[in-house]
Chains A and B, each alone.
Chain A
Amino acid sequence: MRLQYPPNVRIIEVPCTGKVDIVHLLMAFEHGADGVITVGCLEGDCHYVVGNLHAKKRVQRVKEILDRVGLGGERIGMYNLSSGMGGRFAEIVVEMTEKIMELGPSPIRLAQGTAARAAGEVAA
């Protein structure tokens, strides 16, 4: 398909978004990620039945934590796509990157003084 999306995204593959824990998501921010999106299968299509539904709740919990610690819950998001939706994946990455550009770099990264990296990380 040769779809284009921003190169400043690191994809971390997991067997199922149900494997993604709150601790993993928080760790990404601790390591300086400006934003994180969790991309799971379409709801109702999880091979493990409820993996993506667990992930949805965990992302929501992290959103609340980020709001409360002052980082902002809008830096994290959850999306549901099938493996045939590559085009939409590229769109989402572009949208998220633009959103993060507007928000600016993560205060964590600024405080840590790490090199400027425009956008975020993607767990797929």
Chain B
Amino acid sequence: MIKAIPKPMEEIIDYVKDFNKLLIAGCDGCVTVCEAGGLKEAKILASALRLYFTQGGRQAQVDDTSLTRQCEKEYLLQLSDRIDQYDAVVSIACGVGIQHMAEIYDKKIVFPGVDTCFMGVNEERGVYSERCQACGRCILAETGGVCPIARCSKRMLNGPCGGSDKGKCEISKDVPCGWELIYERLKTLGQLDRFETPTVPKDWTTSRDGGPRKIVREDLRI
């Protein structure tokens, strides 16, 4: 899932300090799971902003809500009958949801309330780590289910490099070497012979190198 972290309160206050009617819009999808942008976080942010405005002697209206998914038009349209009453919206969905909100309500000022970080897993509550960079051409079948694009700091296709030390990456002793993980996994699977065939250069046109991406599935379109 997409992982995000709340923006510092000072930054959000700086965005909204000149507005009087605000809507804090959470998302019940990925950002709820990583506890950065769900309904509870929307309530906390709205409450904090109300305290900020009130202690400064301002009469500001700060409401909160949460949509099932801000990355889908049908759910965003649920705000259509009331969004006009607000001067601005702070969306605490991921970057996708924030942009979609701004697209659907193109005359409304939309501020981000989170920093969207990566696609990753919940290692435990409060600990999330990256697993996929959406390169557009998955090679997990060849690498024992461990992605060298997301988990090797150099995105090497034929690793490890000389910086690997005792299974850790040279960037930090807390970061496992992606290629060490691949080696261990292939060893467990009895597929170490895969290392005898070098991986051919990757076609990066399906990644960001090919510009902004779009999927059109004619089989699904109505």
Q: Could you list which residues of chain A lie within 8 angstroms of chain B, going by C-beta atoms?
A: 21-23, 26-27, 29-30, 65-66, 68-71, 106-108, 111-112
Between A and B, 20 residue pairs with Cβ closer than 8 Å are A23-B40, A23-B43, A23-B44, A23-B47, A26-B48, A26-B51, A29-B51, A30-B51, A65-B44, A65-B51, A66-B51, A68-B8, A68-B9, A69-B9, A69-B13, A69-B51, A70-B55, A70-B56, A107-B54, A111-B57
Q: Which of B9, B47, B57 counts the most A-chain CB atoms under 10 A from its CB?
A: B47
Which of under 10, 10 to 19, 20 to 34, or 35 or more describes the interface residues of B? 10 to 19
Closest chain-B Cβ to A64's Cβ sits at a distance in Å of 8
Closest chain-A Cβ to B197's Cβ sits at a distance in Å of 50
The answer to whether B43 and A69 have CB atoms under 8 Å apart is no
Complex Cα gap A30–B13 (Å)? 17
**B55: which of A21, A26, A65, A108 is its contact (CB, 8 Å)?**
A108
**A27: which of B8, B9, B47, B54 is its contact (CB, 8 Å)?**
B47
The answer to whether A69 and B48 have CB atoms under 8 Å apart is yes
The number of residue pairs between A and B whose CB atoms lie closer than 8 Å in the complex comes to 50
Complex Cα gap A111–B44 (Å)? 20
Q: Could you list which residues of chain B lie within 8 angstroms of chain A, going by C-beta atoms?
A: 8-10, 13, 40, 43-44, 47-52, 54-57
Q: Chain B interface mostly helix, strand, loop or mixed?
A: helix
Q: A22-B44, A26-B44 are in contact. Are A111 and B50 (CB under 8 A)?
A: no
By a CB distance below 8 angstroms, the chain A residues around B40 are: 21-23
Give A65's nearest chain B residue, CB to CB: B48
Sample of 11 more A-B contacts, CB < 8 Å, known A22-B44, A68-B9, A107-B55: A23-B40, A26-B47, A65-B44, A68-B10, A68-B13, A68-B48, A70-B51, A70-B52, A106-B55, A111-B54, A111-B57
Complex Cα gap A34–B40 (Å)? 24
The answer to whether A30 and B50 have CB atoms under 8 Å apart is yes
